[in-house]
Chain A
Amino acid sequence: MTRDEKSRIPEILRKHEPELLKDWVQRQLAAAGGRPGQLSEAALREEASRFLSALREAVVGGQFRDIAGPAWSGVREVLGEISRDRAQHGFSPTETAMFVFSFKEALFARLRRELAADADALADETWAATTLLDRLGLYTIEIHQKSREEVIGRQQQEMLELSTPVVELWQGVLGLPLIGTLDSARTQIVMESLLQRIVETGATIAVIDITGVPTVDTLVAQHLLKTVAAARLMGADCIISGIRPQIAQTIVHLGVDLQNVITKATLADAFAIALQRTGFAVQRLPHRA
């Protein structure tokens, strides 16, 4: 199959580009008929036209089999942009790849018309075109996948930062509401930001609330104990709140010793203790009752 050099596809693409474009766009619109509104006709026409002109240039000098080569850089760029754009707009990998695959129908129809007299040539050209478009279609899936992975990676990073706010509950009282899984990376950030805030605010009490932590195993317990010990070295006492009944029983069975730590069932209880220790009292105003 070294017909690439003699292939008539470059010539056909060059001669019939406008008709191919029109035919292809019409077929895509008809196929998407059931779900309108995903992509406007103008946007689709624009993408299709950019792909076609890049393809027309690439097939002139390029080997069909080598879409990673320099001759195909224009096509790769256009497809990369389209795939990333579609991935961001929630298109599935299939929908993204169909953009390229759907060109087959239009191209094959044109090949049939042009090569009607030469059955051998028609078969060869169809084969060459189908392998080429398959490769390009798979390339769009690859790019689609990669850009989804980039999004997930970014979200994970954002979660790390989002999930560890240290808040000032009262003068000298810090609150640290923990939510989700306490793995080592996150705990490190939590501990650092708590100690940093203790320095900044001169707080003497920090309430660590674990209501949002579903599992407290020995590693989580160890992380908590270390945080409490480090805070104590800096002159702040910690109260751990949000110990639910099932967590309490589990901690007892595990044999984790939390006797040197003040623990409370709810954040409200912990806050009351913190106020008391810092010399404040909450009182209901008599005339408001």
Chain B
Amino acid sequence: MGILRTEKLAVDSADDIVRVRQVVRAWAIERRFSLVDQTKLVTAASELARNMLLYAGGGTVELESLEEQGRHGLRLTFEDHGPGIADIGLAMKDGYTTGSGLGLGLGGAKRLVNEFDIQSRPGVGTSIRIARWR
């Protein structure tokens, strides 16, 4: 699998979430994702970036443009050094939230992408990696 390009963005404020959405959309357009695929990936990125800001006080997003056997894809890695998630199974459940949102972001983001991987250690931080293929 070849990595064609990478970029790292910091998420420290609500404005940065807007920026993440814009950059992800620009990359998806460049990779010639369909409008539906663009929207799904951008929405998933928006959810995960906001989670980092709300629950970990911020973090970073790394974008990677991938190519594998003629397939094109985008992979996003969200990394924070927040409190971590004690029970990932519970956090992934629809309607469960420790905040004031709908509790659909994490599960929703998973349903919007092709690959979803979450690693979290309480007290250390959380890393979520998603990928969507064209």
Contact = CB atoms under 8 A, between A and B. Distances in A.
Q: Are the chains A and B members of one assembly?
A: yes
Contact of B108 (A181, A247, A253): A253
B108 A254 contact: yes
A215 B42 contact: yes
Q: Give 7 closest A-B pairs by Cβ, nearest first.
A: A254-B108, A246-B39, A253-B111, A217-B46, A246-B36, A218-B104, A218-B102
B29 to A, nearest CB: 12
Nearest to A180: B18
A216 B43 contact: yes
B124 interface: no
B47 A215 contact: no
A250 B102 contact: no
Nearest to B111: A253
Contact of A222 (B36, B43, B101, B107): B101
A222 B111 contact: no
A255 interface: yes
Interface string B1-43: 0000000000000100010010001000000000110111011
A215 B101 contact: no
Contacts of A219: 46, 50, 101
Contact of A217 (B14, B43, B107, B111): B43
Contacts of A217: 43, 46-47, 50, 105
A54 B29 CA distance: 55
B74 interface: no
B43 A254 contact: yes
Nearest to A225: B102
A219 B47 CA distance: 8
A247 B39 contact: yes
Given A184-B14, A221-B102, A256-B102, A246 B35 contact: yes
* Interface SS majority for chain A: helix
B115 interface: no
Interface of A: 181, 183-184, 214-219, 221-222, 245-247, 249-250, 253-256
B43 to A, nearest CB: 5
A255 B43 CA distance: 13
Contacts of B35: 245-246
Contacts of B61: none
B112 interface: yes
Nearest to B113: A253
A222 B102 CA distance: 7
A183 B14 CA distance: 8
A250 B104 CA distance: 12
B40 A249 contact: yes
Nearest to B105: A218
Contacts of A183: 14, 18
B67 interface: no
A73 B46 CA distance: 48
Nearest to B48: A217
A219 B14 CA distance: 12
Given A250-B112, A255-B107, A255-B111, 14 more contacts: A183-B18, A214-B21, A214-B42, A215-B21, A218-B105, A219-B50, A221-B102, A222-B102, A246-B36, A247-B39, A254-B47, A254-B104, A254-B111, A255-B104
